[in-house]
């Protein structure tokens, strides 16, 4: 799989579940904002609802960071709706604050390099796309491993800090911590301070 980082995010247009309604959405709908596009294998499974509800619970944090959330699987919009109407205590996801794309043709998962063609499902891929439509970050997990939403937010804020200041974020950086000037001499300010 080739990395999409520093490349334009592959375009898409498909039906999505938004709340309890269906609407066609495309990548261009998110221009001017950061986008967190994440893929998950299937509706009505085990790890997937824990991730989706964790993203939904953190939705306000993404919005405050000018970032839209979008989930995607190979399931139909009707399957998404049935899952959203299933209570969380029964493995459902409840009503979400962000769209779930219906990638029934599997073209989106394929374009992002996360489709498992023989299984007909996607790996747990996550892509952070900047307001200009360029992928800044990607991570792909195997099927049985859930993502850490707080880490996704940390990486998003680090990318935004670099874009805003031109400085770089050292290992384990969190918002409010010192950044570093990407210069052999000026970077010493950081090293001397820590």
> What amino acid positions are annotated as catalytic residues?
48
The Cα angle at residue 13 between residues 31 and 145, in degrees rounded to 5: 85
For residue 155, what are its two tokens?
């990486």
**Strands of 21-154, DSSP E:** 21-26, 34-39, 67-73, 100-102, 115-116, 121-122, 124-129, 135-141
- State phi, psi for 82 to the nearest 5 degrees: -60, -40
191: left (phi over 0), alpha (psi -120 to 50) or beta: alpha
Q: What is the largest CA-CA distance in the chain?
A: 58
For residue 155, the surrounding DSSP H or E stretch is helix 149-165
Name 101's bridge partners: 16, 72
């Amino acid at each position: 799989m080739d990395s999409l980082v520093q490349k334009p995010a592959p375009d898409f247009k498909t039906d999505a579940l938004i709340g309890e309604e269906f609407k066609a959405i495309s990548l261009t709908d998110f221009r001017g904002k950061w986008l967190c596009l994440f893929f998950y294998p299937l509706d009505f499974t085990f790890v997937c609802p824990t991730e989706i509800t964790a993203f939904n619970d953190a939705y306000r944090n993404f919005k405050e960071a000018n970032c839209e959330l979008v989930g995607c699987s190979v399931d139909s919009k009707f399957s998404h709706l049935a899952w959203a109407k299933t209570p969380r205590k029964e493995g459902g996801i409840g009503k979400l604050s962000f769209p779930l794309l219906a990638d029934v043709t599997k073209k989106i998962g394929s374009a992002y390099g996360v489709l498992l063609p023989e299984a007909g499902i996607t790996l747990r891929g996550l892509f952070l796309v900047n307001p200009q439509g360029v992928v800044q970050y990607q991570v792909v997990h195997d099927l049985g491993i859930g993502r850490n939403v707080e880490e996704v937010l940390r990486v998003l804020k680090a990318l935004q800090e670099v874009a805003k200041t031109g400085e770089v974020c050292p290992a384990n950086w969190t918002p409010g911590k010192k950044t570093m000037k990407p210069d052999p001499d000026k970077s010493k300010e950081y090293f001397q301070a820590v």
